[in-house]
Structure 1
Amino acid sequence: MKHYTRRAPAGLDRRDDWRDHAACIGLGDLFLPRDEHHVDSTEPKRICAGCPVRLPCFEAAMKEEGTADQFRRAGVRGGLTPAERAALGRRTATGAVERLTAAEQAREEAQAKNGQAIDMIRKGVNDAQIAEVVGLAASTVGKIRRELGIPVQPVPKSIEETYAERTATVDGGHVRWTATSQQATLNGRTYTPARLAFLLGHGREPEGWVYVSCDRPGCVNPEHLTDRPMREQARQAVNA
């Protein structure tokens, strides 16, 4: 281990070094005593406190000594004794391990989330649902999807959304179909406006023709629609 306590010989062709400005120049016996077990570090520390290159001295010591214990370090360097530098080296090494462990854990968690997102993308789940379940940003899910080359799956609309988008309530409690198309597709099946409204209002597929029971033609208020079983039941009630 090298300790610089003297200026370089005059005429030596080299660049200026921070060691040339150390306050300990010429004080090798004080900073590096023969018996370090019974040495008083008060005076070396006092000199270090006013040294203009204390920081580079400290950095050089820690770099050279690494994680060595105090018995493999020597002298007061950067204002610290061998024991003090060893303790600091242990804390630094522990912190580095903790940071590395945390980074590795974060990397593993990210890989797990990405893997879960990939599985859901391949199953046809839409990006918004994946983002909510997995805990990723929707933009991240979209990026993964693009990398896989799998197109975005449209979010299927509910019957309530489909009906609300294509109808408007008018006077008298009637409902008018406002869409240009007289068909609506839901879960792969195509419905007329009346059959879609019946399904929404009665919770089942209509049987036979769907008729409007009010006096407004084309009304799609579910309460104003009947199918064959409902009309038969009404007739039986009248004939009873």
Structure 2
Amino acid sequence: MKLYHRRAPEGLDRRDDWRDFAACAGLGDLFLPRDERNASSAEQKRICAGCPVKTDCLNAAMKEEGSVDQFRRAGVRGGLTPTERAGLARYGYVPAPHPEEAKADAELSARQKAREQARQLLQEGRPDVEVAATTGLCRTTVGRIREGLGLPNSYHARTPQDAFNERAKPTGDGHMKWDGTNAVTINGRRYTASQLAFVVGYGREPDGSVMVTCGRLGCVDPSHLADQTMREQAKAVAA
């Protein structure tokens, strides 16, 4: 192990440069004496007691040294001698995670739980849009989980009404918006959002293009849609 110079040992964890704040910086000869067997640890312990990164130092030492005995440890680190640290290791000491590591672990755990919940919901036959809303995962991720489970696309072999109910949402001002991609496949037939809404509202396939009649771009309220036949009929009445 290297001696201290102006910082704590270079071999230790440098996350956030905690060693910059070590009270032992520059005291290498004291903390890592060449003849450690005959050296006292009283002065080192006194300095460690007031060190602002004492816990970081101990965690790094325990992580670096693992389960080795006291004869393969060196120096006073985190306020403890090699013998004391070896004793901690024998009792199963687990270094406390760094705050950033703990945050990352928590986020990873949350994602893993969300993915597991998504798997369960998909196996129950829930549609992707519902699984995404429940778990907080994006639709693409849910789709990949579905593929990994070998399950068919959630919008295949479903009725137009089912797909419409899952994706069409009221806006609160008399219109409806479409939640998700603008294409849905049902029993091998591909529909745009407006085509599907038209089929649900009028019970037939649209003739020609489907256009919005309310002036609200993207509205999928069936009563606000018209196909070519309906537009021609409206022109005839107006004439």
TM-score scaled to structure 1, two decimals?
0.34
Give the TM-score normalised by the residue count of structure 2.
Answer: 0.35
Considering only CA atoms, is the larger Rg found in Structure 1 or Structure 2?
Answer: 1
